Structure formats: C-alpha cells, structure tokens
Amino acid sequence: MPAGFRLPEPSRFFIPHPEIEGSAVARQRLIVRLLAYKVSFTLLVFIALLVIFQVFTPNHTFFQRPNLFALARLAPDLGIVALGVGILMICGEFDLSIASTIPMSSFVFVKLLGTGVPLGLNLVVTLCVGVIMGLGNGLLVTRTRLPSFILTLGTMLFWKGLLYAASRMMPIGIRSWLPAGSWLENMFVGIIGGVFPIQAIWFVGFAVLLAVMLHFTKFGNWIFVTGDNETAARAMGINTNLVKIISYVGVGVLCAVVGMMQCLRIESFTANQGVGFELKAIASAVVGGTSLMGGMGSVLGIFLGTLTIQMIENGMILLGLPAFGIGAFIGAVVILFAVLNKYISRFSTR
Amino acid sequence: MADVRSVSTGKPDDGYLVRMVGIDKYFGRVCALKGVDFRVKFNEIVSLVGDNGAGKSTLIKILSGFYTADRGEIYFEGKKAHIGTPRDAKALGIETVYQEQALAPHVSIPRNVFMGREITKVLGIMDGRRMHAESMRTIERLGLQIKDTGAVVEALSGGQRQGVAIARVLYFKAKLVILDEPTIALSVKESQQVMAFMKQLRSEGISVVFITHNLFHAFQIAERFVVLARGELLADVDRKDSSVEHLSQLVISGHHEEK
C-alpha cells in the first residue's frame, strides 16, 4: 500500500471527553458514528429535498397523489439497475453496457412475443439475454484485467450497434401479440388496487434481497473484500474473478427485468430504452456513498441515492425549470457527493 | 535418517516441519533460485535474510503456492507435498502474512479475520456475533489490545494491523506462519509488538519464518538464520554460531569470508 494509506489516527475522534457523563458520551459517540456512516448524508439530502420540493412546487404538487404515483412507477426503472451497478462498484468494477442490455432484452422479448412462444418461456429466455451479456462482460474484464470502464464502453457500443442494425431503430408495439391483462403484465407493471404501482414493490423487494446478500452473507463479504483489496482476497483463497463475474451476471439479469418492465409499460420496444442509464446508475451509487475505488458502499445508500437523483429530476420539472438544464443540477450533486465521500471516509469507522 | 528420527519431537516424520530440497526456479531465462535447500523445524523461528533480489520472496512464494518450482521437492511433516496453489498450502497449514496486503482496509476486524472462511448459519448468512467473539478472543490471546472493536482496519495502527493478520493465522491453526517483512513500515514500538506476536505464535507450537532486511530484528528473535544471495543458499547458521556483524557481512558481501 502507498504511503497515503496511513491516515491520521481516526480513533481520537471517539475518545470520550472525561468531563462528559456516561450517557452523554454514548450519545456523542452515536451521533459521530451516524455521521461517519455515509448513508446519513444521503438521507439528510433526501429529506431536505423532500421538504424543499413540497414547499416550493406550485400548489405543493410534489406530495400529491399523481406525482407520487408517477415517481413510484418510473423510478424503479433506473433504481433496480442502479442497485446492481452499485454492488458491482463495491466489487471494484463498472458496467456501462447496461444501456445496451436493457433495450437488447426488450428487443428479444418483443421478438419472442411475435413468435408466439409461451410467456413463461419468453421470460426465461429474456432473463438469459441478461445472463449472457453479463457473463460476456465479466469474462472480458477478468480475462483481460483492463479497466472495466473502457471494456464495458466497448461492449455497450458493440451491442448497441448490433441492436440498431437488427431493429433499424424502429419501435415495435406489443399489442398485436399480447392482449392487455396477461399475467406477465400484472406481475411487472400491474397497479395494485388501482392505486399502487407494482414496480415499486419489485424495487423494494430487490433492494431488500440484495441488501441481505451484500451485508449479511459470506458472498457479500467477498464482494467487499474483492473491491477493497483484491490481492488479499485472492491470497485468502477467494476466487475474485468468480465474484466479479457473478456480480456482472447479476447486473445483466436486473437489466433484463427492467428491459421487460419498460417494454410492458410503454407497450412497445424502442431502441432508445436505457439511454443515459449507464451514467445515471453510477451517479446514483455515488450519491448513495459508494466508493469509486470499490470496497465501500451500501444497498440502502444506493437505494436512497437513486431516489434522490430521480426526485431532483422530477421536482425540478414541477418547479418549472427548463427540463433540458436539469442535468446541470444533477451533475453538481454528483460532484458534491463524490467530494463529500472522499472527505467523510477520512474519519469513518464503519 | 535413523538418527534424525531419534531426535524428532515424537511426530511421525523426519524431524522437520518443512524441508525444501534442491529448489530451482527460472523466470524465462533468469535464474531466481538454484539448488536451494530450506528447512524449518517444529516450533522454531527461522529468519530468512538476504539482499534485494536474493530470492527470499521467490522461495517463500513457492512454499505458499503462488509459484511452482521448476525442480526440487518439498516435504511437509516428513511426507512429500505438492503445493500448486495457495489453497494447497493453506490445506497443509502453511499461512503467509504479507505486509499491508493481508487486510481489506475498509472492512471490520472480524470480517478481515474470517475473510474467505466466514462462519455461516443457513443460506450463507454470516454468524456475525460469533465471528466477532472468536476474532476478539484470538486477538486477546495474542496480547493485542484494541479499544474500538467495531472499527475498520484502516483505523488501526500498523502494529495492530499486523496483529489482526497474525490473529487470523492463529485462529485457523496454522502449523507454519511465514511473515514477509512484517516490521518494515513500523515504528520501533510497533516492531517490538509484532515480534512479541511471533513469540506468542511459537509458544502456541507454531513455527515461524521471518523474512526481514533488519538484522537486528532477526537476531533478536530468530533461533536460526538462512542467508540467500543471488538465488543460492549462502549460509544456514544457528544463533549461537553467529552475530549481527557476521550476518551483515554475509548479506552485504554475498559470500563467505576467506578462511
């Protein structure tokens, strides 16, 4: 490790002051601990934005049902993918090719609808598209040992090129083959009781499942140590290549789910599905406290991070700001959090 | 062999925990090791010394399964051993502790101690409480004091980090522990702490190979010194037959004094 590895002894932040009595010390420690935990900053910004948008949107439309409904229906698209991308970043790798995996699985899904295969089989095959594209990325990154940012930029362009050629960039509607109200549609884009979009349940479900996997299982620990110190992980007998490949496959599967979800929601395949997701997913993870160097992050953080980013978009539109300029604000937030993460990690203990 | 057997520690072997015989290693056309013999007895601290490029790391990497030798044999507890991967070495009970490379800095102490060998309940869910209790008990056994047991490794001092890495091999019942330059970036006090850990390992019946540039450290703790120079074995001497001056003369000149 380079010399910069040795940081000033952080434990001195936690030395209790002798004059403060026990419970106050405990409280002080708890507060410092909470602040040291990166997610708390994301949470603070998240709550602050909720308040700001509620107060400043004309007629307080932010917290009204139509807007919340739209958020719950749309945010899971990027959210589900961001969960996978964030976990992959903790493992020390990037995946830009999600912007191609999403429309590719949507395309395969629609094409299979046209052939009339049973929906269940179609679902499995579409998920396999995600598995294969994830596997491709994983093998490429672990075999070549080159920066995954560049390699997956390559696979993104490669698959996108093939997809554009195959689809001629024409949208393909699903209604000629799939009547409304199929079980698959109810499962992915149904609206429970006519008020609650099921996508939100998928998003929360994936988040809980992945949080348990990442924070409580053995494999989750392998993801952290692979991103944190790959040499050490390998020396301890962890197959770090396999850990990375599985993480890439996970991202691919989540992309396939989102590809199908979007396709069912807009009742059509379009070639520009997922455009821009590749960087927004990384931005979500960064806002959620994920380290760009790997080894640090949390599912709760990524979850809040992606909601924050999407809420900014939504809230600023409601505020009547020019829609095309919103990127500037999101960019500023990402930079703020990247800087903040670096600063916080100097005295974080967990 | 018969008389060697008679002085053994009563274990079914030839008296040595490890015997590496006639080890050759080439990288392309460069000869890194040539006919090197290296032995470690039971319950012994051996120091492996030599200048940069003498072949110390290469020899150790062969023993810990990162490289395979081009020629030569390895015997472990008297039986011929095939060490092709780090996993093979671990299965035999050979553990290597590399300076600063052994731990994940942003991960907690228990998760570092159990890295790759996590204690699990069902479905791969880790038993966090047990991992915490077991790792802290081992750290105490080693004589290491850590106040904030929930801290990540980055928050520890250099000596404490070495302690965590050594606690790991102690917990997993290693028979031979190889320490690659464990005192190189440490303060005087921390170095003493790490050497105390080594003594603790030996008192638990574990043999230690201590690789170092610091002959004062080596002389303070090791019972035997193996000196390599330019890929060849230069000397294998007991402490009672040597001195810091003698060792440094060997390391610096790379050959024996004219006698």
**Distance separating alpha carbons of residues B182 and B195, to the nearest angstrom:** 9
Quick one: pLDDT at residue A10?
A: 39
Is A201 strand, coil or helix? helix
Residues from chain B contacting residue A341 (CB–CB below 8 Å): none
CA distance A49 to chain B (A): 30
- B152–A contact, CB cutoff 8 A: yes
CA distance B157 to chain A (A): 7
Domain count, chain B: 1
Rounded (5°) CA angle A109-A110-A114: 115
CA distance A29 to chain B (A): 11
Contact A232/B106, CB-based, under 8 Å?
A: no
B149: domain CATH number is 3.40.50.300
Quick one: pLDDT at residue A12?
A: 36
User: CA torsion, points A134, A136, A139, A143, in degrees to nearest 10?
Assistant: -140
Tell me if B259 is assigned to some domain. no
**Tell me: the pLDDT tens digits for A9-37?**
333 334 344 444 455 556 656 665 555 56
Tell me the pLDDT band of B210, cut-offs 50, 70 and 90: very high
Tell me if B159 is assigned to some domain. yes
User: Would you call A220 exposed, middle or buried from its count of C-beta atoms within 10 A (0-12, 13-18, 19+)?
Assistant: buried
Question: What residue ranges of chain A have pLDDT lower than 50?
Answer: 1-21, 349-350
Model pTM score: 0.84
Quick one: pLDDT at residue A313?
A: 87
- B124–A contact, CB cutoff 8 A: yes
Paired strand residues for B209? B46, B178
For B52-69, b where at least 16 C-beta lie within 10 A, e where not — what string?
Answer: eebbbbbbbbbbbbbbeb
Q: CB of A337 within 8 A of CB of A23?
A: no
Quick one: pLDDT at residue A97?
A: 96
Which of A225, A237, A350 has its CB closest to that of B86? A237
Quick one: pLDDT at residue B249?
A: 85
Interface of A with B (CB under 8 A): 1, 5-7, 9-11, 14, 212, 216-219, 221-222, 224-225, 228-229, 231-238, 291, 295-296, 345, 348-350
Tell me the pLDDT band of B257, cut-offs 50, 70 and 90: low
Q: CB of B153 within 8 A of CB of B105?
A: yes
**Tell me: the pLDDT tens digits for B145-167?**
888 778 888 888 888 888 899 89
Quick one: pLDDT at residue B74?
A: 94
Beta-carbon contacts of B18 under 8 Å, excluding residues fewer than 6 positions away, are: B38, B39, B40, B63, B74, B75, B76, B94, B176, B207
Name the residue with higher pLDDT: A37 or B127: B127
Q: CB of B125 within 8 A of CB of B177?
A: no
Quick one: pLDDT at residue A237?
A: 83
Residue B69: closest CA among B114, B34, B41, B44: B34
**Tell me: the pLDDT tens digits for A280-319?**
999 999 999 998 999 999 999 999 999 999 998 888 888 8
Q: Structural domain boundaries of chain A? A: 37-344
Paired strand residues for B81? B74
Which fold, A37-344? ABC transporter involved in vitamin B12 uptake, BtuC (1.10.3470)
Nearest residue on chain A to B114, alpha-carbon basis? A236
Alpha-carbon radius of gyration of chain A: 22
Quick one: pLDDT at residue B99?
A: 65
Contact B104/A228, CB-based, under 8 Å?
A: yes
Quick one: pLDDT at residue A5?
A: 41
- B187–A contact, CB cutoff 8 A: no
Alpha-carbon distance values, A263 to A100, A118, A237, A268 (Å) = 14, 17, 42, 5
Q: Domain range spanning residue B182? A: 2-253
**Tell me: the pLDDT tens digits for B13-58?**
567 899 999 999 999 889 999 999 999 999 999 999 988 888 898 9
Tell me if B162 is assigned to some domain. yes
- B91–A contact, CB cutoff 8 A: no
